[in-house]
Amino acid sequence: MRAAITSISHYVPPEILDNRFFESLLQTSDQWIRTRTGIVERRIARTGGTSDLILPAARQCLSNRGLSADDIDCIIVATVTPDYVFPSTASIVQAGLGATHAWGFDLSAACCGFIVALIVAARFVESGAAQTVLVCGADKMTSIVNYDDRASAVLFGDAAGVALVQRSDDETVGVLDHVAHMDGRHALELYMPAGGSMRPTSLDTVTNREHYLVQDGSTVFKAASKAMVDVTEEVLERNGLSVSDIRWFVPHQANKRIIDAVGERLGLEPERVMCNIDRYGNTSSATIPVCLSEWMEKGELHKGDNVVLSSFGAGFTSASVYLRWAVSANAPVEELEPVLSYADASD
């Protein structure tokens, strides 16, 4: 019995910040941003919290599968921008959906958040601890970006991607393996200085603007380029796969130069590498599920496709998941029933 992604959807706020916005704000140019990052535009949510990004994506995700909020057993929200320190954003999502039978929690793994949440959800389903898990990768990164910092302000946007993880009786599809690593020695190369128990919020931390993301860009760039290759090669080797066996490689959308470097080092043609950073920037936990959702919408993901996800984020964390896609794009619900079956609630 496998755990599989049976539905996926995404939401981005309607307001676009293109590179011209930053030309008027900072000493930068559209050409500089495109050359250094590959980003042309990104989305911004002026109001609301991360849960407001998740809810429309979650409703669409359930609708795609023909399910209601009552069918959800567990909600996992991967984010570094929760609505509140507590309660969990998962609880806000539960209330917003009316998923009264669900429990859940937030998970903090930075840009690796969706992959880590997917791993956890798969283990819940495989063990029988849950039948239907709503996995949400979402961040309102514009809320923690210093718009006076040219190096980081242009990189980030807001988005949410939501996946349903359920049981599949087809052993040939679903989440097949994962690799995850962490090197906390570099934790302060990419972090938010204040707001936690180490430096609680105070007049000084606010005055000193310590509640924004800070990173050593060069160090992060080099570490990400290497780590994403390493975890991908490791998961391929563990499963006796070569690069030619991969139909789709889905890297975290941090920087187009990182994406290109990782693809080239792995020997992957660009047309097999999902990339939408030009339109959304780095949306942290949301980048990978947004890619998957968009490719589903375009009809380019099919049942049986070998898919490898790879990410790198603060911590320094790195992770990769190997899965075989369980459903074809736009498949009617009735076509999924022979593939997927669920235990009765009384079992």
| Distance in angstroms (rounded) separating the CA atoms of residues 206 and 250 | 37
| Active-site entry in 61, 74, 111, 136 | 111
Q: Which of 232, 230, 214 is nearest to 222 (CA)?
A: 230
- Cis status of the peptide bond prior to 87, with omega within 30 of 0: yes
Q: Which amino acid, one-letter code, is at 50?
A: T
Is 111 among the catalytic positions?
yes
| Active-site entry in 19, 64, 255, 282 | 282
Dig out the tokens for 137 from the structure.
């990768």
Is 282 among the catalytic positions?
yes
Let me know the angle formed at the C-alpha of 197 by 194 and 198, rounded to the nearest 5 degrees: 65
| Active-site entry in 252, 255, 275, 306 | 252
Distance of CA 296 to the CA centre of its chain: 15
Those residues with Cβ within 8 angstroms of residue 162's Cβ, 6 or more apart along the chain or in another chain: 8, 9, 10, 54, 57, 58, 60, 61, 134, 135, 136, 137, 138, 289
Is 146 among the catalytic positions?
no
For 54, counting Cβ atoms within 10 Å of its Cβ (0-12 exposed, 13-18 middle, 19+ buried), the class is buried
Catalytic residues: 111, 252, 282
